[in-house]
Amino acid sequence: MPAYVCFISSGVLPTATTLKPCSFSTYNNSHHVLKRANSNAHPRTITCSSSVSGHQYGLVLPPAVPQNGQKGDVKPTPIIIRPDELHRSSFPKDFIFGAGTSAIQIEGDGTEGGRGPSTGDFIIDAANGGKGVDSYNKFKEDVRLLKEMGIPYYRFSIAWPRLLPDGTLDKINPDGVNYYNNLLDELERNGITPFVTLFHFDLPEALQKRYNGFMDRRIIQDFSNYCDLCFRLFGNRIKHWMTINEAAAFVILSLTAEQKEDPINQFIVGHHILLAHAAVVKNYREKYQATQGGELGMAIISKWFEPRSLMSPDDQEAADISFDFLVGWFMHPLKYGEYPHHMKKWVRGLPEFSEEEKKSLKDSSDFFGINYYTGAFAQAVRSGQMELTKGVTDLRYLIVEGAERDGVLIGPAANGSDQIYIYPEGLLKLILHVKEYYGNIKMYVTENGCSSYSKITMSIPEAKAAGKLSEIEKELNDAQRLEYIQLHLQSLLLAMNEGANVQGYIVWSLLDNSEFGNYDIRFGLGFVDYHDDYKRYVKKSGKWYAGFLAPRREGSGMRPILMDKATAAIPQS
């Protein structure tokens, strides 16, 4: 789920939809990248710009660094990859490809099957009858769609209140246990591997009422108990786990209006989430990892920040601050056991970890899940008004973030969106930064996708009968989403060519679903007809992804990846 995080008291630059998008024409280790990633790699070129303006895309990979056993003077031929040549075989054989969903967005209303109410029920507009896409009753159709597209991995989440309606072990819901066992059975029958998130925004309402959820340390034990139950019930069939999805986003969503009045509360919630993660990992490693053979990480909401002025050290620092307050907030403690520099510098009253807690957090993630959608510019505010409010720096007096620099957008806007701008170079820079500063830890891109906006008011059969298929056809022929996926896969190849330890890519999302109660915003490879019993249809992007993943046949007529030049346009079929 792409969550558009705006930290409490942070300022955001207004976006201008009339601005021209950037063309990502060259990337030559800019001042910003050199300072942040300390890269000594070859200059690299990304020839790409928006197809909205009719340009073509291509990707030039620089010569690879000689591997162990190769002579230092080996000079591999540069590889040139164009979008219509991207294929599963472009990546290592053990590289993971998948598509993702979350329970709160797809399963159904808040009571079906014995599920307890969740603080996240507003996400599907449950109060007004919203049912996500009714996957509680249609999970076999979801698996059929995965099978049809040849997608080998399925990222989904387990709903805490579906297993434990009151959030504690006092009451285990057998219908919830059966539901997830049946889903796992169906995936296994179809040769699809699960990649599972334990907590994706759906906090049992009972725990929120009992002690304000993650505002209280007592919830750490409840969360650990819930995760232990999942490991006991399903761990023999799940090898890839993530404790929490986009904690920085959940922090904001979890606070009441009154709690948001004091900005320090967001850091208290985040602190307890980190300690909860550490407790779960410790338990899993001690009791289950050796026998079940799984790995455990966290999905971190990510964005790449560019300085608004390339010549301004203040804007450079603003970009670094923005990164630390979004990505580093959770990534840094999971690797090093402490908060990043800028958080410790600018947040007065930031909770502190004990020495024992630091040890439990350090290296407590077997991998980082990277949820990346877009980039932004960061600008320092030079008003001199660096004041403190209730003990916490008001970020409005430090930085403002926005999508525009000197009248130019950082990238083409996703259709109907003022939140997602297509900036694949940001994924490249983000991954290289993690490689440099976080020990080249294993990474999976666990969310990456492009939104579209469609105001569809009737079913496909009704639209056909009325001769009003244009809006539906526009959504089914989602060329921009297809292009977005291609560009980000190209960025992954470039990052991996630089030695980044990226081992998987999961598209968001398998299906259209509810985005914070809005069913007009769509991310799916699969179209959902909300006016005809939630029927599923494969979009153009899904068909491309299926072709990308399909085994390449000998004599198929497809050219090899190694070519002389990049000249291809986005495929139209």
Both tokens assigned to 285: 């490693």
Q: How far apart are CA 76 and CA 66, in angstroms?
A: 8
Reduced to 3 states (helix: H, G, I; strand: E, B; else coil), residue 475 is: helix
Does pLDDT of 23 surpass 80?
Answer: no
Residue 454 neighbours by CB under 8 Å, 6+ apart:
416, 471, 472, 474, 475, 520, 522
Q: How far apart are CA 443 and CA 50, in angstroms?
A: 27
272 sits in which H/E element: helix 264-287
State which amino acid sits at residue 330: F
Does pLDDT of 13 surpass 80?
Answer: no
For 384-404, give one letter per residue: b (16+ CB within 10 A) or e.
eeeeeeeebbbbbbbbbbbbb
pTM above 0.95, yes or no: no
The pLDDT > 90 percentage for the chain reads 72
pLDDT for position 553: 56
* Domain spans of the chain, in order of start: 95-549
Residue 177 neighbours by CB under 8 Å, 6+ apart:
163, 233
Least confident of 16-25, 167-176, 516-525: 16-25
Higher pLDDT, 543 or 28: 543
Highest mean pLDDT among 13-22, 214-223, 544-553: 214-223
Higher pLDDT, 186 or 38: 186
Count of all residues that appear for the chain in the document: 573
Mean per-residue pLDDT of the chain:
84
Residue 519 neighbours by CB under 8 Å, 6+ apart:
125, 130, 512, 530
Q: Are 373 and 326 in contact (CB under 8 A)?
A: no
pLDDT for position 125: 84
According to DSSP, residue 558 is labeled P
pLDDT for position 130: 82
pLDDT for position 58: 44
For 464-487, give one letter per residue: b (16+ CB within 10 A) or e.
eeeeeeeebeebbebbbbbbbbbb
pLDDT for position 362: 99
Does pLDDT of 75 surpass 90?
Answer: no
Q: How far apart are CA 65 and CA 139, in angstroms?
A: 45
pLDDT for position 472: 97
Confidence at 22, pLDDT banded by 50, 70, 90:
very low
Both tokens assigned to 187: 């995936």
Residue in 85, 107, 246, 401 annotated catalytic: 246
Q: How far apart are CA 375 and CA 542, in angstroms?
A: 24
CA atoms within 13 A on the CB side of 302: 28
| Bridge pairing between strands 295-307 and 368-380 | parallel
Q: Where do we find the tokens 């009154």?
A: 258
Segment 223-234 shows an average pLDDT of 99
Does pLDDT of 547 surpass 60?
Answer: yes
Residue 496 neighbours by CB under 8 Å, 6+ apart:
91, 502
Dihedral angle at the C-alpha atoms of 255, 257, 260, 261, nearest 10 degrees?
A: -160
CA proximity to 135, closest of 512, 454, 517, 543? 512
How many CB atoms are closer than 10 A to CB 492?
Answer: 24
Both tokens assigned to 108: 């159904």
Alpha carbon distances (Å) from 219 to 209, 222, 226:
12, 5, 11
Segment 71-81 shows an average pLDDT of 47
Reduced to 3 states (helix: H, G, I; strand: E, B; else coil), residue 461 is: helix
Does pLDDT of 68 surpass 50?
Answer: no
Least confident of 5-19, 200-214, 284-298, 304-318: 5-19
Q: How far apart are CA 185 and CA 182, in angstroms?
A: 5
Segment 468-484 shows an average pLDDT of 97
pLDDT for position 571: 29
pLDDT tens digits, 318-345: 999 999 999 999 999 999 999 999 999 8
pLDDT tens digits, 508-522: 999 999 988 899 999
Confidence at 302, pLDDT banded by 50, 70, 90:
very high
Q: How far apart are CA 243 and CA 101, in angstroms?
A: 15
State which amino acid sits at residue 85: E
Higher pLDDT, 471 or 70: 471
Does pLDDT of 41 surpass 60?
Answer: no
Q: Are 472 and 512 in contact (CB under 8 A)?
A: no
Cα dihedral 360, 363, 365, 366 sign: negative
Percent helix, strand and coil across the chain, each rounded to 5? 40, 20, 40
Does pLDDT of 173 surpass 90?
Answer: yes
Does pLDDT of 52 surpass 90?
Answer: no
Q: Are 87 and 486 in contact (CB under 8 A)?
A: no
State which amino acid sits at residue 8: I
Q: Where do we find the tokens 């030039």?
A: 60
State which amino acid sits at residue 194: P
Both tokens assigned to 195: 């990649």
Residue in 107, 425, 447, 483 annotated catalytic: 447
Strand residues in 67-129 grouped as ranges (E) = 79-81, 96-100
Least confident of 51-55, 237-241, 262-266: 51-55
Both tokens assigned to 418: 């003022």
Does pLDDT of 3 surpass 90?
Answer: no
Quickly name the fold that domain 95-549 has: TIM Barrel (3.20.20)
246 in catalytic set: yes
Does pLDDT of 558 surpass 50?
Answer: no
pLDDT for position 123: 86
pLDDT tens digits, 99-138: 999 999 999 977 899 999 999 998 888 767 788 999 999 9
State which amino acid sits at residue 277: H
Confidence at 488, pLDDT banded by 50, 70, 90:
very high
Cα dihedral 227, 143, 240, 238 sign: positive
Does pLDDT of 562 surpass 50?
Answer: no
pLDDT for position 85: 81
Q: Are 229 and 283 in contact (CB under 8 A)?
A: no
pLDDT tens digits, 380-439: 985 444 444 445 555 655 788 999 999 999 999 999 899 999 999 999 999 999 999 999
